[in-house]
Amino acid sequence: MEAAAATTLEVVHETRYDYAAPVALAHHLAHLQPLDDDYQRLLAHEVVTEPPVDWRHAGTDAFGNACLWLSSAQLHERLRVRSTSRVALRPRFAALQPAAAPAWDELAAALRFVAGGRYDPAVAFVQPSPYVPRLPELLDHARPSLLPGRPVAEAAIDLMHRLHADFAYRSDSTEIDTPLATAFAQRAGVCQDFAHLLAGALRMAGVPARYVSGYLLTQPPEGGSALLGADASHAWVQVYSPGTPGVPADWLDLDPTNDCVPGCGHVRVALGRDFGDVTPLRGVIRGGGRHTLSVAVGTRVIDPGLALANGPAEEMR
């Protein structure tokens, strides 16, 4: 069987801070480099700052995500961080068989702590986290999807459908620090909230769920209507579904904002427990006073020949 043709995308993510007073010292942590694996090949990546920083260091965080640390001791009243990435995507879930997944309740039971038992790293994504606390109302909302013995992939997809139907996407309805309980109560939020709600509901049932940060192509290559959340960094969820046919590496991606299993329009950047683990850019500064933040993201399909001109995973300088 021939491998599916790849879709090549270019993503430009620009973040700009304008300060009311000069900044004397700044330290920033960036999660901007897309993941690189068999289904998402990182062809090129660069991060440019204006003004240039004094020090930068690339590494990985505790979850294995690519990170970039930036520091500047030069006075500046504006900071612009521009990330440009090119990736080649192949569909990961074209052969998905949700009905062949393990039962969600058996999976949850197997992950419970037993003295002397085998440790599964997925347990880390069952626990509550700063942005996804334990909320009993999330479990109540999930119960109609969590029928006894139901395959975990089927249950999670059904829960995604119901969450998408019951909650409204409203771009100004929440802030980064809006409590999850507030988003649940008002039945509205942005992609970050949708991801936290789905992850929280699954975790309340004992099913591991990871938060995914990334980018979204407005018009998916597979066709269909335009997707929500493409004008900024996007977020969705991975549910643990070990041994399920058509699920590489045991984690199934689900996008509750758009009610879909991602195809070739979702670019994965980082994985964590919640937004706080994978924030695209955050830091601390001395000085600056009040500031304004502006973010712009553009994702487009490009000619594969153009993307390969610089060589695989080469910095585009």
Check which CATH number belongs to the domain holding 75 and give it.
Answer: 2.60.40.2250
What is the predicted pLDDT for the residue at 155? 98
Residue 312 covered by a domain: no
Percentage of the chain lying above the pLDDT 90 cut:
82
Residue 25 covered by a domain: yes
- Are 239 and 164 members of one domain? yes
- Are 284 and 265 members of one domain? no
Task: Check: CB of residue 279 under 8 Å from CB of residue 31.
Answer: yes
Each residue's pLDDT tens digit, 219-228: 666 666 666 6
Q: What is the mean pLDDT of residues 83-89?
A: 97
Residue 1 covered by a domain: no
Q: What span, in angstroms and rounded, lies between the C-alpha atoms of 209 and 305? A: 36
Asked whether residue 315 carries a pLDDT value surpassing 60, the answer given is no
- Are 258 and 109 members of one domain? yes
- Average pLDDT of every residue of the chain: 91
What is the predicted pLDDT for the residue at 221? 64
Asked whether residue 311 carries a pLDDT value surpassing 60, the answer given is no
- Are 107 and 83 members of one domain? no
- Are 143 and 204 members of one domain? yes
Residue partners of 304: CB distance under 8 A and separation at least 6:
6, 8, 88
Handedness of CA 69, 75, 79, 85 (dihedral sign): negative
Residue 317 covered by a domain: no
Q: Between these two residues, 172 and 86, which has the higher pLDDT value?
A: 86
Percentage of the chain lying above the pLDDT 70 cut:
90
Residue 52 covered by a domain: yes
Q: With bands split at pLDDT 50, 70 and 90, how would you rate the model's confidence at 229?
A: low
Q: Which domain range does residue 193 map to? A: 98-276
Q: Is the N-terminal amide bond of 51 cis, ω within 30° of 0?
A: yes
Q: How many helices (H) and strands (E) does the chain have?
A: 6, 13
Task: Check: CB of residue 278 under 8 Å from CB of residue 271.
Answer: yes
Each residue's pLDDT tens digit, 31-65: 999 999 999 999 999 999 999 999 999 999 999 99
What is the predicted pLDDT for the residue at 130? 97
Residue 298 covered by a domain: yes
Give the count of domains, the chain: 2
- Are 189 and 112 members of one domain? yes
- Are 155 and 286 members of one domain? no
Q: What span, in angstroms and rounded, lies between the C-alpha atoms of 34 and 14? A: 15
- Please report, as a single letter, which amino acid is at residue 237: V
What is the predicted pLDDT for the residue at 220? 63
Q: What is the mean pLDDT of residues 238-242?
A: 98
- Are 64 and 170 members of one domain? no
Each residue's pLDDT tens digit, 179-228: 999 999 999 999 999 999 999 999 999 999 999 999 998 766 666 666 66
- Please report, as a single letter, which amino acid is at residue 68: L
What is the predicted pLDDT for the residue at 114? 81
Asked whether residue 306 carries a pLDDT value surpassing 80, the answer given is no
- Are 126 and 200 members of one domain? yes
Residue 180 belongs to domain with CATH number: 3.10.620.30
Residue 315 covered by a domain: no
What is the predicted pLDDT for the residue at 309? 45
Q: What span, in angstroms and rounded, lies between the C-alpha atoms of 108 and 317? A: 47
Q: What span, in angstroms and rounded, lies between the C-alpha atoms of 114 and 97? A: 31
What is the predicted pLDDT for the residue at 199? 98
